[in-house]
């Protein structure tokens, strides 16, 4: 990843599904706009060019590990060059739900070489601030609906043969994904947000860190 010199700021949220990232980023966006900032809220797998292809390929269960990696990289590249960078150039604060770190973690769990993964994503911009929404895997799964758990063949880890049982597979997959987030949180010095704390306390941590960033 490379640093940027654009006037805007890139703020990222990472963590398991069910950790409250979407709720907290929504609250953060509202707060920043009230403060007078232009804000762009983006999320992974939301490229106008690629997201529909990802959804179709997942529905058909046609992605093998290498195509899984490359199609998500294409999605991220489109978002980066056509939405993130233009917003940063315009002085916006970009809030990104599940940034490149999630892609790296999921690719690694599918057996991809870390050096290769990092090379694929070397075009990515280094965030100015990354929040890691820390939560136990069982607690996170308890916050996700049964339909969400079972509908995604890939986010339940069924494609990598962790278990023929969906419930067992998703627990193993989420636990392994959590391990990757924990490692990256230490390596990249993410700001940890305890997801078991009340929403207001989580917001205070987020606001305090963003204020410090904007004043620096």
Task: Return the pLDDT at 19.
Answer: 92
Mean predicted confidence (pLDDT) in 18-31 = 95
Q: Give the tens place of pLDDT for each residue, 72-106.
A: 999 999 999 999 999 999 999 999 999 999 999 99
Domains of the chain from N-terminus onward: 9-208 (3.40.50.300)
Region 188-199: mean pLDDT is 95
Q: pTM for this one? A: 0.92
Residue pLDDT, tens place only, 127-159 = 999 999 999 988 988 887 655 655 678 888 889
Percent of the chain past pLDDT 70, that is, above it, reads: 97
pLDDT at 210: 98
Q: How far apart are the C-alpha atoms of 114 and 108, rounded to whole Å?
A: 6
| Alpha helical stretches, state H, 64-198 | 65-79, 85-89, 100-109, 114-120, 137-143, 146-151, 166-187
Average pLDDT score, the chain: 92
What is the structure's pLDDT at 156?
Answer: 85
Is the per-residue pLDDT at 40 higher than 90? yes
The 8-class DSSP code of residue 125 comes to B
Where is pLDDT greater, at 150 or 207? 207
Tokens, residue 121: 């994503």
Task: Give the per-residue pLDDT at 59.
Answer: 87
Give the pLDDT confidence score for residue 148 in this predicted structure.
Answer: 61
Question: Using CA atoms, how far apart are residues 89 and 7, in angstroms rounded to an integer?
Answer: 6
């Amino acid at each position: 990843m490379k640093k940027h010199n654009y006037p805007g700021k890139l703020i990222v949220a990472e963590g398991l599904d069910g950790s409250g990232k979407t709720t907290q980023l929504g609250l953060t966006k509202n707060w920043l706009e009230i403060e007078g900032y232009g804000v762009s809220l983006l999320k992974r797998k939301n490229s106008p060019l690629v997201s529909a292809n990802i959804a179709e390929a997942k529905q058909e269960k046609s992605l093998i590990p290498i195509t899984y990696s490359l199609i998500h990289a294409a999605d991220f590249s489109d978002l980066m060059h056509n939405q993130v960078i233009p917003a940063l150039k315009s002085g916006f604060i970009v809030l990104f739900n599940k940034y490149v770190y999630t892609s790296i973690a999921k690719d690694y769990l599918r057996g991809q070489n870390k050096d290769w993964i990092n090379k694929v994503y070397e075009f990515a911009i280094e965030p100015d601030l990354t929040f890691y929404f820390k939560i136990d895997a069982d607690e996170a799964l308890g916050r996700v609906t049964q339909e969400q758990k079972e509908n995604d063949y890939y986010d339940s880890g069924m494609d990598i043969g962790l278990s023929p049982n969906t419930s067992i597979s998703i627990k193993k997959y989420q636990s392994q994904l959590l391990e990757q987030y924990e490692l990256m949180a230490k390596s990249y010095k993410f700001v940890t947000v305890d997801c078991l704390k009340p929403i207001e306390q989580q917001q205070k941590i987020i606001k305090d860190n963003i204020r410090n960033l904007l004043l620096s």
